[in-house]
Structures are given as structure tokens and as C-alpha cells.
Amino acid sequence: MYSKKMTSGAQSAHVSDEIEGSVQGHRDGHGVVIRDDGQGDLYISPNEMRAVLHKDRVRARIVRQDRRGRPEGRVVEIIERPAQPIIGRLLQESGVWLVAPEDKRYGQDILIPKGATGVAKPGQVVVVELTEPPALFGQPVGRITEVLGEVDDPGMEIEIAVRKYGVPHEFSVAGLAQAKGLPDKVRAQDKKHRVNLCDIPLVTIDGEDARDFDDAVYCEPAKVGRAKGWRLLVAIADVSHYVETGSAIDIDAYDRATSVYFPRRVIPMLPEKLSNGLCSLNPQVERLCMVCDMLVTARGEVPAYQFYPAVMYSHARLTYTEVAAILANTRGPEAAKRQERVKDLLNLHDVYHALLLARRERGAVDFETTETQIVCDENGRIEKIVPRIRNDAHRLIEEAMLAANVCSADFIVQGGQPGLFRVHEGPTPEKQVLLRNYLKAMAVGLSISDEPKPAEFQAIAEATKDRPDAPQIHMMLLRSMQQAIYTPVNSGHFGLAFDAYTHFTSPIRRYPDLLVHRVIKAILGKTQYQLPALPAPGEAQAKLAKRLAAPGSKPRQQALGRAGLAWQAAGLHCSANERRADEASRDVEAWLKCKYMREHLGEEYSGVVSAVTSFGIFVTLDAMYVEGLVHITELGGEYFKFDEARQELRGERTGIRYAIGARVRVQVSRVDLDGRRIDFRLVREGEELPGGDGASGAARKTGGRSGGRKSAPGAAPSVSGTVAETPPKAPVKKKEKAVRKKAVAGQTGKARKPRRN
């Protein structure tokens, strides 16, 4: 609850004016307290931030409101300071050692006493542990605990990211010892009480660079009643056979919750002996698996299925490219090499078309988006950024996995046991209003109802697919949806249009899938699966405590019961760590792209507007799939107004409009490696361009790489014939930073193993 506006910040405030929350620093020195009660952020001045650190949990008091009515606070108590190390570069200035944090949100350099530098040398990237907290009149003091190396060392961006985001990257001694004690191959005793599928020609289909194989598939024609249909087998690595509940490996896996994929490196959820060896469905070796055995009708319905543990033998390790080539030409060279598998692949292709028919009849949302892959050389330098092309082989596997996941969710519901569902709820009321206004402003002719269904979104996508602004409309449809989460409360999956959905198909790299396997086994064995007392990171615990303390939460707690609350905590933990993995991956990709674009300063490219904000437009380059910002001060010498309904900027004097999907030509003007930020400026053909910041490092020739060109210094920029002096670049505001981060999160291509559903 806000206090009445005070005439002086020194006046005392009522205890009800005190709030709790987490500090989020800003690279400009100020910060905000993100409140536990979900209300608006509390501004913290740079002076107040001197005594606190980014990520501190604090109790703060509202002391005043600014001219816009926004609350400003004063920190009265530091409740908790997370014991997370700080990463930065060791510097020596006037005989004083200090570390400049890589994450600029920390705001202060850390003093290092002479005896606390260890073996670190100036300029190296180090990890610091605080020994003295910051104060209003004193900097924080710390000691160096680890030397990561030189800033330009190959893979340094990954070393920084895993520590910056707290990604566990070292297995426990107990976990490694337990993994070492596991067998190297399937033993005779492991095969007991399992169906022998070694004679069934199951195959794996993955990317060329895949090393862990979760799933294998096989399909054959079958009668479903009196009609034509198929028998589809989806065999998934039986990780639960080797990773026992509550074991050392299990605790490590829960702590990670997911594998994290970076360019050229993977931090696996399980030790390599399991992830790439004993559990991976490698070709020509026996492996233990859990099988979802389904009957599929010609309309893509699954009237019957069964689960059972089995032992299998992968008859081939196929790639998406190879399978797509075989399906496109069954008499081609690829088909000739895999002649014995061609018939099975054609059956898989047939069942895929049936499942695709069912998807369309459900009205599931199916937008084609472009994911990118960063191709690096041996030194970790980007050679190129290329789109990941999705073909029928990708879609075939995706539909097979979706079918198995739906059966898994149904099996858990029918079994009456608690478990984790993959829930994707519809758009919030606020996003519904924004989307309706946008569709109306764009004269689409279709809209969404008060309780929208996925089919409505798909209908809009189909109706607008041939419009020139289709990418813009589809982008808005996607952005109106919520993120999917793991929870024991089954609310269905909006985007896929399923009443119940879970993750069963990737237990090597996702902990929720491992839990689902254990629940399915418990139901098959007519027992009750109990979650172990696994340690949960503070973030998940804090979020759960807030949720359970909220008004109206008691009925929900009673409905879930004690077991349900444990599952809720597990789902919250897995969801949070999924976000953590995505953030770390995006951070590395953004760093690599910034480093790559530093070599192209001053060069010119064509691109498309991928996001519009009140402070400028984000543009994605055609040639490189890299996104950067054209600040509003670079759009010309007139006032631009942001139209939220149309998601566009419009010039008041000329009527020039910049909207999502608009094609533009830009020059790379600035790259901020520390801020993970790329700035562009608009250009037009025939315009003379200044060299841009740091132009001395750019190529001094016409016709730069990837279609870019370097232009000579010259006149000030103009916009569509409107010549005006460009005003000085405005400082980037707090709100702008937040939107910038959100836009990059939504647009940066993912260079990783494609996540299946």
C-alpha cells in the first residue's frame, strides 16, 4: 500500500509503507525493488544503491513520489544476500586492485586487497567472492576464488554465462562416482520383465551434430477396427532405470533440471556416461527404453495406446537431412544407402500426414518461425549465422513426439496420480485487448472472442498468410500468448489445443520427463510414486512461498494436498531453471553476435522491422539474422508517435510509418559488447554515410561481407526525402532497457538442439 505523498524524504513512514522484494540494478547506477506483492517497482536512487547489490533481497520504505506519481524508496534492511559469485575483469589503477563486474547491473567495482588476488593477472576474467559488503561510504571488498582466463580465450563467453546465471556446470563428486560405477552396457538382469523389441527396426532421427539420442520411432500399417490405420511406436531412453530417486545423480539432475545448449558446447543434465553412453539410443547396441505403443487412425486420432518397459536395438542413426532426401526421392542415392529402411520411413511419413490432419482439425496454432544456428570456427569465432531449415523429417518426429506426450498425460490423468503437466494457458485479458485493438486497426476482419480458442488464432493466421504484412500480424499473434510452465494442475495446452499434455520424450535432457517416466512406471506397477526430498534453489522456494501466502491460496493448497504442494515446488523449480537455461544461451548468442558485428561497423545491410517500441525500432538483418536497434533519434528530425494499437511509429509531420514487417536499409553504427547491444541507423540508396563508431576497425572497402557496403563520410541522415539535422542521441531510459531485453529475448535465434514440443 502506498503512503500519502510526503513533502520531505526525511519524514518517517508508517510500517505499512515498508515492502519486501528483490533489487535489480541498472547499468546507469540506479535500481528498482521488484516487489513481492506484484505491485509496481520501487525506484532506488544511485546513492541508495551504493549500500546494496543487484539480486539482494531487501525491505524498503516508500519515502516519496516523483512528479509522475511513481514511488521512490529507501532500503531499510537487507534480508538476504545471495552467495552468488561475481564475475569480472581484474584491473589495477594507481596501485589499487579492483574487479569491474561483467554484469553492469552490480554498479560498483570490487576492491581486492593485495593478498587476495591469488595468481590472477591484470586484464584476466576472474570470479570474486565478497568479504565485505558495500556501504554508503565504502566500496565492496572481495577475494579472487577462480581465474577463468583471458577475455579473448575461446569459449570465455560460455564460462562467464554459466557463472553469471548460476548454471550448475560441475557434477558432485558423489554423482560422478555413482556414474562411474554403472555398467557400460545393458546386462542380462536389466532385461528382466521387459518386452524384447530388438527385432523391431526402430531408428533415431536427429540433427547431424546430435550426441544424445532420446527417442527412436517405428511405424507399420495396421487395422484400427475395420479401417486403415497404423501402429506407431515411440521408444524413449529409460533413464529412470539407472537414475534412482534421491540418488546422488538424481540430486545433480534435479539441480540442473535441463541440459543447456550453447554454440559448440553442451552442459548436460546427466553425466556423459549416461547422456552419451548408457542411456543414449546409439545405433547397433541394445538399450533400455520406455515405449508408447499407439494405434493411429487415418484421421490422426489415437483410440488406443499402451506403455511398457522394453529393450531395443536401434537399426540406424538417421539425420533430418537424410530422411528428408529419402522421402523426396525414394530412388535417389540417399535411399539406395538405406534401402532396408525406406518402407518404414514411408509409413512414418503417412502417419505424420494423418497426425497433421488431426492437428488442423483441433485448430492448433502452427506458425512457422525462423530459428538460427551460429556456426563457429575452432577458435570460437563466428563464421556465419544460418537459418535452421525445417523439413518433413523434423515435422514427422515432432508429431510422433506430440502423440506420445499426449498419451503420457492421459495415462497419468487416468491413473489418478500426481505428476507434472506441461501447461500453456491462453492470453491474459490485457493481451487480448491489445490484440483485438491491433487486429481492428490493421483491418484484418477477424478477431478473438472473450474466451479465445486456438482455432481462432490459426484462422487469423490462415486468413492473412498472403497479405504483405503477414509476418507482422503473425508476430503479434505469437506475442499475445503466455509462456508454458510445468505444474501438477492440468489446465491443458492452449497452443497445441490439447486438454492434457506433458513431457515424456526427453528424459536425458529434461528432468520433468524423468519424473513423468517414474509416475508411469508406478501406475504400471500399481504403486504410488513419492517425490524425494530434493533440495530446491532459493528462487523456487521464495516464489512458492509468495504464491502460497497470497490471499485465496488456502483452498488451492487443500485441493492439492501435501503431495501436490511438493509437485508444485518441483514444477516451479523446473520452469525457473528452463528460463535460466534460455537466458544463459541467449546471453552467449548475443555476445557472439555483438563480437561478430564489431567486424562490420559502418557496413550497410537490408533488413526487416521485427519489433516497434516507443523509443525506436528493432531491425533483423536479412543476411545475418542479427537484430539491432534504430533509436528514435535516428529516424529523422521530426516527432514520432508510438501507436500501440497498430504497433508502429508514425511521423507527425510527414506521416512516415515504421511497423513490424517493414523493409528498411540500415548501417551498423555502434556495438556495445558489455551491454550485448547493436545499434543501427537508417539509410537510403545514394546517401553518403558517416563511418560509425569505431569505423577504423571496419573494412575500408566497398562491398563488405554478407552484402554489406562501406560508405564514405558525408551528409547528415535523411528519412524518405525529409532532410534534417539528427538530434543528439538520447540516453537509454530504464523502461527502454527493459523493453530492449524483452525484444532480444523474443527475437534472438536459438542455436541449440531443437526442443521437441
Residue 276 sits at the vertex; the CA angle it makes with 273 and 279, to the nearest 5 degrees, is 80
CB atoms within 10 A of CB 387: 11
Query: If pLDDT is split at 50, 70 and 90, which confidence band does 154 have?
Result: confident
> Does the pLDDT at position 694 exceed 50?
no
**725 secondary structure, DSSP code:** P
CB atoms within 10 A of CB 381: 13
Host H or E run for residue 128: strand 125-132
DSSP SS3 for 102: coil
Query: If pLDDT is split at 50, 70 and 90, which confidence band does 140 have?
Result: very high
Strands 203-206 and 316-319: parallel
Strands 195-196 and 304-313: parallel
CA dihedral 121, 125, 127, 133 (to 10 degrees): 80
Residue 464 vs residue 755, higher pLDDT:
464
Residues 107 and 55: their CA atoms lie apart, in Å, by 12
Host H or E run for residue 446: none
- Overall average pLDDT of the 99-118 stretch: 90
Distances (CA, A) of 591 to 263, 340, 381: 12, 46, 11
> How far from chain centre, in Å, is Cα 130?
30
Angle between helices 553-597 and 248-256 (to 10 degrees): 70
Distances (CA, A) of 647 to 33, 610, 662, 750: 29, 11, 12, 25
DSSP assignment of 655-685 equals --EEETT-EEEEEEEEEETTTTEEEEEEE-T
Residues 407 and 355: their CA atoms lie apart, in Å, by 14
pLDDT digits (tens, 9 = 90+) for 209-252: 888 899 999 999 999 988 999 999 999 999 999 999 999 999 99
Query: If pLDDT is split at 50, 70 and 90, which confidence band does 664 have?
Result: very high
pLDDT at 18: 83
- Overall average pLDDT of the 523-546 stretch: 71
Assigned C-alpha cell, 337: 544407402
**Residue 503: CB partners within 8 Å, gap ≥ 6?**
405, 408, 420, 422, 486, 510, 512, 513, 516, 757
According to DSSP, the residues that pair with 228 across neighbouring strands are 223
pLDDT at 472: 76
pLDDT at 685: 57
Q: Across the beta sheet with 304-313, what order do the strands follow?
A: 195-196, 304-313, 286-297, 227-237, 215-224, 203-206, 316-319
Residues 413 and 433: their CA atoms lie apart, in Å, by 34
- Overall average pLDDT of the 630-648 stretch: 87
Which of 340, 384, 88, 63 lies closest to 201 in space, CA to CA? 340
Give burial (CB, 10 Å; 0-12/13-18/19+) of 129.
middle
pLDDT at 142: 93
Angle between helices 470-479 and 454-464 (to 10 degrees): 170
- Overall average pLDDT of the 96-109 stretch: 90
Query: Is residue 531 within 8 Å of 570, Cβ to Cβ?
Result: yes
Query: If pLDDT is split at 50, 70 and 90, which confidence band does 713 have?
Result: very low
φ, ψ of residue 196 to 5 degrees: the values are -85, 110
CA dihedral 224, 230, 231, 236 (to 10 degrees): -140
Whose grid coordinates read 575483469?
89
DSSP SS3 for 535: coil
